[in-house]
A and B are shown apart, each in its own frame.
Chain A
Amino acid sequence: MRLTLHIWRQSGPDAKGRFETYKLDDVNEHMSFLEMLDVLNQQLIENGEDPVAFEHDCREGVCGMCGIVINGLPHGGRKGTTTCQLHMRHFKDGEELTLEPWRSAAFPVLKDLVVDRSAFDRIIQAGGFISIHTGAPPDAATILVPKEDAELAMDYAECIGCGACVAACPNGAAMLFMSAKIAHLGMLPQGKVEADRRVKAMVEAMEKEPFGACTNFTSCEAVCPKEISISAIARMNRDYRRAFLPGKAEGGGKLEKVKLLPAT
């Protein structure tokens, strides 16, 4: 299949970027999107040109490194699919594609389609630790977790931190990412102790980065390659509000909330 690509080229963080047009004549429909870019880069290298920089690592949809806005859609807009798992068979022969990096003040472009997502790392770092007993492996079922909670926490924990939610949000807000992290830790007994402190600290860290504010457009949920629900955001809003109630110490939550089996 033939493709015309309009790709954002930017030689460095401070350089002025522009769109360049490339034509590919022989794209195999079984290629992934990144493999198609590999083919393009091979051509560019052979012609002595600078290859297009894009991020990738596992190419299995689990690492969260890749991410390109394709025709206005982060990760190409296919349900539950990262850019690396997107295949060329979903495009038409002769199609024109515009490739842009995540656009966010919090994610400055490093080169071409590569952005610096360390703002996410700083939010995660602000989340701190969870309190668990370390040492010998614990006995099974000493801490009971209801099945529904475990499942839901796992759904939220699926977040790979790719940043598509920020890229898709008309406000450039990081709420889906942040709330997924807060929700999966705050729902489980091991993370509940610090839940109040964590939600405040992470929101505070998020506000220090130039992210926008959530106005419930729900675009994030639509593009999330892990299909994380905006119910995470609602949960985080609730946790944040409650963390300011009197009696919620800065140091953590209430210990009696942790479900422990009585000692035998």
Chain B
Amino acid sequence: MNESPGFYSSSVGKKILMAVTGMILFFFVLFHMAGNLQIFIGQEELDRYAKFLHSVPEILWLVRIAVTFSFLVHIVAAVQVWLQSRRARPIRYKVRVNLATDMAARTMIWTGPIILLFVLYHLLHLTYGALYPDLFVEGHVYQNLINSFRLWPIAVVYIVANIGLGFHLYHGLWSLTQTLGWTHPRFDRCRRVASAVIGIGVAAANISIPVSILAGLVR
């Protein structure tokens, strides 16, 4: 490993790190979604779950640090490979055609920053309660959600961000199987479909929360 420039110095290595950290972030998103869906069981259940998460602060902070670290590595590597690619075509084509790519792939560089901004907003809104102090009571997760999502501008922010997340997950999940070399003729055809199903599924499940509250289905 010492003889050649390190793993991280190549764009291939950077992409592999992006795939691994992206996967960690995906598992966090999945876990976060599953936890939040308990809102549909009821207030007691969701608040008890929130309390449970906070029951061992060491574990909570360990997870937070791991997720933050993954987030930072993911972003730094993404910016680096993006800059590398921008330099690769100084003179652009006069006629530009989108060849075989889909919108999700082309908008990764936009859905990424959207998710970043949303995460910061979300942390200030529902973790630290700094954004709307009137709507937030520490530990009363269920009530905080109801208070917030009754207001359509907040609900819209969450809905838009999760649509972005869905697109990002679709391309990201498919892409990571490619970047990690998890391919096999037997399941190659399912990779796209599975990524789309998960991307749409996660986005829809997350969006169902603000939508249900906005529609008055969850009170």
The verdict on A214 contacting B100 (CB below 8 Å), with A235-B183, A237-B181, A241-B16 known, is: no
A203's partner among B10, B86, B89, B95 (CB-CB below 8 A) is B10
The verdict on A213 contacting B93 (CB below 8 Å), with A171-B85, A221-B100 known, is: no
Is A234 in contact with B95, judged by CB distance below 8 angstroms? no
From 198 to 256 in chain A, residues with beta carbon under 8 angstroms from any chain B beta carbon are 200-201, 203-204, 206-207, 210-219, 221-223, 230-231, 233-241, 244, 250
Q: Does A51 contact B (CB under 8 A)?
A: no
Q: Give the segment of B59-67, B136-144, B146-154, B171-179 that binds chain A.
A: B171-179
Q: Does B217 contact A (CB under 8 A)?
A: no
Cβ of B106 to closest chain A Cβ, rounded Å? 7
Is B89 in contact with A219, judged by CB distance below 8 angstroms? no
Cβ of A75 to closest chain B Cβ, rounded Å? 11
Q: Which residue of A lies closest to B14 (CB)?
A: A213
A173's partner among B4, B16, B88 (CB-CB below 8 A) is B88
The verdict on A217 contacting B14 (CB below 8 Å), with A71-B97, A231-B183 known, is: no
Docked complex Cα distance between A207 and B80 (Å): 13
Is B88 in contact with A237, judged by CB distance below 8 angstroms? no
Q: Does B124 contact A (CB under 8 A)?
A: no
Is B97 in contact with A241, judged by CB distance below 8 angstroms? no
Docked complex Cα distance between A199 and B108 (Å): 28
Is B88 in contact with A168, judged by CB distance below 8 angstroms? no
Q: Which residue of B lies closest to A214 (CB)?
A: B15
Interface magnitude class on chain B: 35 or more
Cβ of B105 to closest chain A Cβ, rounded Å? 5
Docked complex Cα distance between A112 and B99 (Å): 24
The verdict on A103 contacting B91 (CB below 8 Å), with A219-B100, A250-B3 known, is: yes
Is A234 in contact with B12, judged by CB distance below 8 angstroms? no
Is A207 in contact with B9, judged by CB distance below 8 angstroms? yes
Is A105 in contact with B178, judged by CB distance below 8 angstroms? no
Is B95 in contact with A98, judged by CB distance below 8 angstroms? yes
Q: Does A19 contact B (CB under 8 A)?
A: yes
Contacts of A103 in B (CB 8 A): 89, 91-93
Contacts of A240 in B (CB 8 A): 10, 12-13, 16
Cβ of B93 to closest chain A Cβ, rounded Å? 6
Q: Does B101 contact A (CB under 8 A)?
A: yes
Docked complex Cα distance between A73 and B96 (Å): 8
Contacts of B15 in A (CB 8 A): 213-215, 237
Docked complex Cα distance between A200 and B175 (Å): 21
A105's partner among B12, B90, B171 (CB-CB below 8 A) is B90
The verdict on A244 contacting B105 (CB below 8 Å), with A105-B89, A212-B84, A219-B100 known, is: no
- Residue with the greatest number of chain A CB neighbours at <10 A, chosen from B88, B93, B101: B88
Q: Which residue of A lies closest to B89 (CB)?
A: A172
Is A222 in contact with B100, judged by CB distance below 8 angstroms? yes
Q: Does A106 contact B (CB under 8 A)?
A: yes
Q: Does A170 contact B (CB under 8 A)?
A: yes
Q: Does A104 contact B (CB under 8 A)?
A: yes
Docked complex Cα distance between A34 and B7 (Å): 43
Is B188 in contact with A231, judged by CB distance below 8 angstroms? yes
The verdict on A203 contacting B92 (CB below 8 Å), with A230-B178, A250-B4 known, is: no
Q: Can you show 12 pairs from A to B with CB atoms below 8 A apart?
A: A72-B95, A77-B97, A105-B87, A170-B101, A171-B85, A207-B10, A212-B86, A212-B89, A213-B15, A216-B171, A218-B101, A241-B16
Q: Which of B's residues lie within 8 Å of A, judged by CB?
A: 1, 3-5, 7, 9-16, 81-82, 84-97, 99-101, 105-106, 108, 171, 174-175, 177-183, 185, 188
Known contacts A6-B94, A71-B95, A212-B89; 5 additional CB pairs below 8 A are: A100-B95, A213-B11, A214-B11, A216-B178, A237-B178
Q: Which of A's residues lie within 8 Å of B, judged by CB?
A: 6, 19, 69, 71-73, 77, 98, 100, 103-106, 168, 170-173, 175, 200-201, 203-204, 206-207, 210-219, 221-223, 230-231, 233-241, 244, 250
The 5 closest A-B pairs by CB, nearest first: A238-B181, A172-B88, A212-B85, A212-B88, A213-B11
